[in-house]
Amino acid sequence: IWNQVLDRLKMRLNPTAFETWLASATVQTFQDNCLVIQVENPFILNHLQKTYYSLIVEEVETIVGYSISVKLTTSQEQNWKIVDKDEYNYSSNKLNNKTDKQSPKLSQLNPHYNFSRFVVGPTNRMAHAASLAVAESPGREFNPLFLCGGVGLGKTHLMQAIAHYRLELYPNANVFYVSTEQFTNDLITSIRQDSMEHFREHYRTADILLVDDIQFIEGKEYTQEEFFHTFNTLHEAGKQVVIASDRPPKRIPSLQDRLVSRFSMGLIADIQVPDLETRMAILQKKAEYENIVLPRDVIEYIATNYTSNIRELEGALIRAVTYISISGLSMTVENIAPVLNPPMEQISVSPDVIIKIIAENFNVSIEDLKGSSRRREISLARQIGMYLMRQHTDLSLPRIGEEFGGKDHTTVLYSCDKISKLQKKDWDLSQQLSELSDRINIASRNQE
Ligand code: ADP
Ligand code: MG
């Protein structure tokens, strides 16, 4: 019976939800009109009871054809809990309550940051399950949910996955994802424009408020003050708050005690560095989405060399793939090794090579690069050229200025700074830079 029930549930639920909550559920006993289902741990048990109980009962009764009592239990607990299905007013048809209206809120989210692209492993299992639980029943289980973990380990991805999933279930939900920086900026703007009412109204109508990188609230007294009130209003109204930080609340310097205690009253779920197997699974999944075929030893090689940050892991994969496609070599460990672990004795790169590659890539003339035109395309190309020259050679700022037709060293410094900041925000630019870097390396190697 249970397998049939599972099959039906599988069809009704989102695959990630099914995997997380139900795939491991088994029948413990079935006698006297009472079906006892066993799940892995109390955490799953709790969520199933709160969110899926009536759905499960419904499917069980459909299969057996008569009314039956269903109990959920976990092996980690001695006594099973008896759940009265009337306690739970969850109505399953809400799941199908989609409308065609595209939410404007979606535009602020990275479409790739959803649950189906998120690879679950031992070091993020808890954070993932908690995020999913929050998306399904906001304000009910963990409020706030505090996600904490080092840079590039998936906090932003999970937060946005919560937002996507909630909006998928309820397209009209007020789901707000903001960085702490944006929250602060909104606050400052509304103070300046004397529109605090507007600000408060906006943030306090959220059904789910997700605030990313809260560690940046450090030292901002006024933002802390306002966030405290926003938090309380939402929390008291039973609305969900999700916060991400690179460290636990207690370790954020000069965070007001009252915020530390608010942040700690729900669940603090931490994400640790993924193990090798998970890293390989992440690369594999990424490659599949990008339609790239990768030999297993290449995956293993990259995963072995990039251990502590998933963004860098993905970056390495992209560099390898880009290099292979530019160079026309085949995808082997031997061929990608040089771009992944640049040898210490860097090949010497001549400034001319860089200028030539920049000119070709941006379709501007070398004279223009060395000239003084301020046309946007030209000056951007020039700035990128200076930045790359700084990266690839030991030339001093004044010497780089000379290579670009006698520019002042402050101009060079300004350009390098600007590009370096831009590329942190602009994914396309950073892709483009790494592609240009690869070309420069290839051209220089061929010259030697
Ligand atoms: P953080 O916010 O913790 O610094 P991000 O959420 O920005 O990290 O993640 C960095 C990159 O790694 C993103 O491209 C994200 O999609 C990817 N990533 C992180 N964790 C996973 C995971 N478990 N599965 C797949 N991709 C992941
Ligand atoms: Mg982040």
374: phi then psi, degrees, rounded to nearest 5: -105, 15
Write the residue with the smallest CA distance to atom 1 of ligand 1: 152
Q: How far is CA 134 from the centre of its chain?
A: 16
- Length of the chain measured in residues: 448
245 alpha carbon to ligand 2 midpoint, in Å? 8
Pair of tokens at residue 123: 């070091």
248 alpha carbon to ligand 2 midpoint, in Å? 15
CB 129 within 8 A of CB 20: yes
What pLDDT, on the 0 to 100 scale, is given for residue 408? 92
Binding-site residue positions: 152, 154-156
Interval 37-61: pLDDT, tens: 888 777 788 788 878 888 898 888 8
CA angle 44, 46, 52 (to 5 degrees): 80
Best substitution site from 215, 276, 310, 317 to test ligand 1's pocket, by max atoms within 8 Å of Cβ?
310
Q: Give the closest ligand to the alpha carbon of residue 116.
A: 1
Residue 310 CA, closest ligand 1 atom number: 12
**Rg, C-alpha atoms of the chain:** 27
Best substitution site from 16, 147, 153 to test ligand 1's pocket, by max atoms within 8 Å of Cβ?
153
Cis bond leading into 138, ω under 30°? no
Question: What is residue 22's DSSP assignment?
Answer: I
Which long-range CB contacts under 8 A does 411-418 form with residues at least 24 apart? 412/386, 415/382, 415/383, 415/386, 415/387, 416/386, 416/387, 416/390, 418/383
CB 159 within 8 A of CB 242: yes
What pLDDT, on the 0 to 100 scale, is given for residue 448? 58
Nearest alpha carbon to residue 51 among 12, 90, 25: 90
What pLDDT, on the 0 to 100 scale, is given for residue 395? 87
What pLDDT, on the 0 to 100 scale, is given for residue 141? 87
Q: How far is CA 155 from the centre of its chain?
A: 5
CB 12 within 8 A of CB 95: yes
What pLDDT, on the 0 to 100 scale, is given for residue 347? 63
- Locus of tokens 């030292």: 219
- Cβ neighbours of 186 (radius 10 Å): 18
Low-confidence spans in the chain with pLDDT less than 50: 77-104, 343-345
**H or E element, residue 311:** helix 310-327
d(C-alpha 406, C-alpha 202), whole Å: 52
155 alpha carbon to ligand 1 midpoint, in Å? 7
d(C-alpha 1, C-alpha 7), whole Å: 10
Interval 344-369: pLDDT, tens: 445 678 999 999 999 999 999 999 99
User: pTM for this one?
Assistant: 0.66
Write the residue with the smallest CA distance to atom 9 of ligand 1: 154
Binding-site residue positions for ATP: 152, 154-156
What pLDDT, on the 0 to 100 scale, is given for residue 21? 86
The ligand 1 site (C-beta within 6 Å) comprises: 113, 117-119, 124, 149, 151-157, 282, 310-311, 314
270: phi then psi, degrees, rounded to nearest 5: -105, 155
Question: What is residue 375's DSSP assignment?
Answer: -
Residue 213 CA, closest ligand 1 atom number: 2
What pLDDT, on the 0 to 100 scale, is given for residue 376? 92
Residue 274 CA, closest ligand 1 atom number: 23
125 alpha carbon to ligand 1 midpoint, in Å? 14
d(C-alpha 5, C-alpha 253), whole Å: 51
292 alpha carbon to ligand 1 midpoint, in Å? 19
Burial (Cβ within 10 Å: 0-12, 13-18, ≥19) of residue 134? buried
